Amino acid sequence: MKPFSRIISGTMTWGDWGKKLSLSEMQVLIEKSFNYGVSTFDHADIYGGYTTEADFGNAFKTCSIDRENVQFITKCGIQMPCEARPLNVKYYDYSSSHIRLSVENSLRNLKTEYIDLLLLHRPSPLMEASEICDVFYKLKEEGKVNQLGVSNFTTSQIKLLQKEISLNWNQIECSLSHETPLFNGVLDYLKTQNIGVMSWSPLGIYFKSDLPKKIRIKKVITPLCKKYNCSEAQILLAWLLQHPSKIYPVIGTTSSDRIKKAIEATKINLDLTDWFLLLEASMGKPLP
């Protein structure tokens, strides 16, 4: 399997949960992303109320890109009430039958014979590690799933699964404005176990609010943009990329220009003092 691209494209807002891109618009975005260096696309069965995977699959089918040159990530486990599934309550299902059903649906929707990485979307208090292990190995033997990972799992929840199965990735919320994983032991543990790290919402709250944290960060970022001749978003990504855990940002933009700039951010190397100035601004106080 080819390695994931350093910047991963998140598709959550491509469809009904966001921009509602047409098939042709998705095709253009996929091809531009690929040409810029983004070969990995992050999905979840629930995106768009269980519709975005199929929209993406139809668009990818019209592209001139070989399936072997891209990687598809998808997630399962959340049962979400919506038009497609009029459930009484939102819940998590990690039974072997549901995992298999979700994978089969994703394969059909994405029009592919295999999923490069399957993530358990959120931890369930009722999940049985042995049952998850059994169905994953069967799916892997059948060539339908290459790797297994988790999303939003704590260290103890990962250890619970590791009693039965090896995990390849954990996709977590991590950014300059959500720096908690740097100090709560999650990143440390993942590194010791050689489990890869992906970050959703890698830009954090910076473009979403005017909270005091954002204002503090902006005071530091503004002169750094001039120093490094780049945008605010590129500084935020460069800060994350510099962590020794080799975090892979999952960016949610549908702007091809922003995708290009995200790729360019991988070449920015922040000075050590600038990295810590940003961290201090986020924390609102000096390091202990």
pLDDT at 105: 98
The per-residue pLDDT for range 15-33, each reduced to its tens digit, is 999 999 999 999 999 999 9
Residue 205 Cα distances to 94, 260, 271, angstroms: 31, 21, 23
Written in H, E and C, the secondary structure of the chain is CCCCCCCEEECCCCCCCCCCCCHHHHHHHHHHHHHHCCCEEECCCCHHHHCHHHHHHHHHHCCCCCHHHCEEEEEECEECCCCCCCCCCCEECCCHHHHHHHHHHHHHHHCCCCEEEEEECCCCCCCCHHHHHHHHHHHHHCCCEEEEEEECCCHHHHHHHHCCCCCCEEEEECECCECHHHCCCHHHHHHHCCCEEEEECCCCCCCCCCCHHHHHHHHHHHHHHHHHCCCHHHHHHHHHHCCCCCCEEEECCCCHHHHHHHHHHCCCCCCHHHHHHHHHHHHCCCCC
Domains of the chain are 8-167 (3.20.20.100)
CB 55 within 8 A of CB 23: yes
pLDDT at 44: 98
- Can you tell me the distance from the alpha carbon of 210 to that of 223, in angstroms, rounded to the nearest whole number? 19
pLDDT at 56: 98
> Residue 37: left (phi > 0), alpha (psi -120 to 50), or beta?
left
> What does pTM read for this prediction?
0.97
Which residues have CB under 8 Å from 281's CB, separation 6+? 216, 217, 219, 220
With a cut of 50, list the residues of the chain below it in pLDDT: none
Encoded tokens for 205: 């709250």
**CA 2, 198, 221 angle in degrees (round to 5)?**
120
pLDDT at 1: 77
Q: Which of 36, 47, 50, 94 is catalytic?
A: 47
Question: Does residue 137 carry a catalytic annotation?
Answer: no
Encoded tokens for 267: 């070449």
Strand-strand pairing, 169-173 and 196-200:
parallel
